[in-house]
Amino acid sequence: MMHDMTDALTRVLRLGVALGAIALVGAGCAGSTKAKKEGDVTWPPADDEPRDLTPVTVEPETVVIQNATVMTATGETLESGSILLEDGDIAEISDETIEPPEGAKIVDGEGKFVTPGLIDTHSHIGVYSVPGVQAHADGNEATSPTTPEVDAADSTWPQDPAFGRALAGGVTALQILPGSANLMGGRTVTLEMHPGISSRAMVFEGAPGGMKMACGENPKRVYGSRGRMPSTRMGNHAYLRKIFQDAAELRDTYEDYREKLKNHSEGDKPTPPSRSHALENVISVLEGEILLHVHCYRADDIVRFLELADEFDFEIRSIHHGLEAYKVRDILTKWDISVSTWADWWGYKMEMHDGIPYNAGLISDAGGRAVIHSDSPIGVQRLNQEAAKAFYKAKHAGLDVTVDDALRWITANAAWTLGILDKTGTLEEGKRADVVVWSDHPFSTYAEAEKVWVEGHREFDRSREGEPWSDFEVGQGEGVRR
């Protein structure tokens, strides 16, 4: 017990915070679009970036992993490769032995496999925390069909023990989304797997913001059961058209005001329009400033959403779940929209009954961006096995899918979906040192993530006894120890 308490205190000291610190959280400005500038005129006024009051201190190692099978997720695998991690980045990758810099730690990779850190594009860890009690139900602001003003970062509990279990499964980054009760559920946030006192401290630096939307059964069931709109798919669509129309009209109002402000005469300054942080978030979707993630299952619902995007001229980054995406894979490939889906979940709602285990394979075979996500605090612990299941189903069906393609489903394609592929998702020199060493081929049932580096800091090592991720688990047995 004393050891657990000491570990917990050590972690707090490493974070450099007081336990009573109040955290301001959010991915960028949670409620407003980027300021528009015309000459010297700015409207809406730029909100101050919320301060990170509880910053995490990251201590990257200098490490050389030698003699391992290095799976880069770029199409190249080094059978006896080496990789140098230095200053938080990948400094060198080679199919020859790398000379260790002075003071570097050496990891013998004989018989091991090295991959990029895994990335989960769809998670509710922290907003539906474990243990799963009503007090932890913070993922759906199900009081209105559209709530673009809310932000998942403001609900995320960074002490959720599920974060530590995801890390032990090789996950180095993940997107936390609101749930799918609402047509427009609110802002998403991309986190990196450094433990923090506040969710703001965990935000993946440089990741763009996101917006969660939903179509199909969930919104019409939630609000139809209350005798209000939407209660049908046509109600869903009408409601969405209205909020996009409202946002487009507010954008025009802001534009008119900026023009008047730029050209007004002395003593005749125009009155500024009323602001709407909710609609400003929707304007950010219209202008591509934040990435749109859409919960949608049926092919006709997917196409209907594409029609909406066409009407209001906005882009969709990813269709989530998308069990019938294989039926419209040619369209999604052409539009460059990724599909974040499962390996084989299906059938627990009517809109899921045409799901097949070949979905990811068919999308990949068509040249699209398939992604395997978890949507589960259990599935995220073995995201590599989920990708393996989908891969072997694709191979058995005779589809043109390689091991590298399947690895990209949980690394590079996921990174692209979250707008962070320039920083992580593949093993390339200059990228962040988000790296996993596996005991076996990652698609093996027996594979375990032995070591996990996040931004060059060894956040998990199965061979050492460290502190638990969550203070919630102090004194409750071993749990997952970092």
Q: What is the pLDDT of residues 273-288, one digit of tens each?
A: 999 999 999 999 999 9
Cα atoms in the Cβ-side hemisphere of radius 13 Å centred on 394: 25
The answer as to whether 476 is a domain residue is no
252: its two tokens: 């025009």
The answer to whether the CB of 76 falls within 8 A of the CB of 93 is: no
Q: Are residues 69 and 23 in the same domain?
A: no
CA nearest to 49, candidates 70, 66, 63, 31: 31
CATH of the domain at 76: 2.30.40.10
CA nearest to 234, candidates 279, 184, 179, 183: 183
The answer as to whether 471 is a domain residue is no
Tell which wins on pLDDT, 138 or 2.
138
Segment 3-8 mean pLDDT: 41
The answer as to whether 479 is a domain residue is no
Q: Are residues 48 and 64 in the same domain?
A: no
Q: Are residues 442 and 346 in the same domain?
A: no
Alpha-carbon distance of 306 to 381, in angstroms, equals 33
Q: Are residues 34 and 65 in the same domain?
A: no
Total number of domains in the chain: 2
Strand order in the sheet with 184-192: 118-123, 171-176, 184-192, 210-214, 291-296, 318-321, 338-341, 370-372
Q: Are residues 82 and 164 in the same domain?
A: no
Task: Show the 3-state SS of 86-137.
Answer: ECCEEEEEECCCCCCCCCCEEEECCCCEEEECEEEEEECCCCECCCCCHHHE
Q: What is the pLDDT confidence band of residue 58, given thresholds at 50, 70 and 90?
A: confident
pLDDT of residue 371: 98
Torsion of the alpha carbons at 259, 262, 267 and 271, rounded to the nearest 10: 40
Segment 109-136 mean pLDDT: 96
The answer as to whether 88 is a domain residue is yes
The answer as to whether 32 is a domain residue is yes
Q: Are residues 105 and 132 in the same domain?
A: no
Please write the tens of the pLDDT for every residue from 416-449. Answer: 999 999 999 999 999 999 999 999 999 999 999 9
CATH of the domain at 218: 3.20.20.140
pLDDT of residue 477: 65
C-alpha dihedral sign at 198, 420, 408, 459: negative
Please write the tens of the pLDDT for every residue from 202-233. Answer: 999 999 999 999 999 999 999 999 999 999 99
Q: Give the chain's length.
A: 482
Q: What is the pLDDT confidence band of residue 264, given thresholds at 50, 70 and 90?
A: confident
The answer to whether the CB of 139 falls within 8 A of the CB of 182 is: no
Segment 75-97 mean pLDDT: 97
Q: Which residues lie closer than 8 Å to 411 by C-beta, 6 or more apart?
A: 73, 115, 116, 117, 118, 119, 425, 426
Q: Are residues 108 and 240 in the same domain?
A: no
Q: Are residues 143 and 105 in the same domain?
A: no
Residue 7 has pLDDT above 60, yes or no: no
Q: Are residues 71 and 162 in the same domain?
A: no
Distance of CA 196 to the CA centre of its chain: 17
Q: Are residues 147 and 291 in the same domain?
A: yes
Alpha-carbon distance of 464 to 446, in angstroms, equals 20
3-state helix, strand, coil in the chain (%, to 5): 30, 20, 50
Q: Are residues 130 and 47 in the same domain?
A: yes
The answer to whether the CB of 438 falls within 8 A of the CB of 449 is: yes
The answer as to whether 243 is a domain residue is yes
Full-model pTM? 0.91
Boundary of a domain, candidates 424, 440, 463: 424
Domain that holds residue 242: 2-58+118-424
Q: Which residues lie closer than 8 Å to 379 by C-beta, 6 or more apart?
A: 342, 386
The answer as to whether 462 is a domain residue is no
The answer to whether the CB of 182 falls within 8 A of the CB of 162 is: no
Alpha-carbon distance of 32 to 153, in angstroms, equals 15
The answer as to whether 263 is a domain residue is yes
Q: Are residues 294 and 209 in the same domain?
A: yes
Q: Which residues lie closer than 8 Å to 343 by C-beta, 6 or more apart?
A: 357, 360, 372, 386, 387, 389, 390, 393
Q: What is the pLDDT confidence band of residue 16, given thresholds at 50, 70 and 90?
A: very low
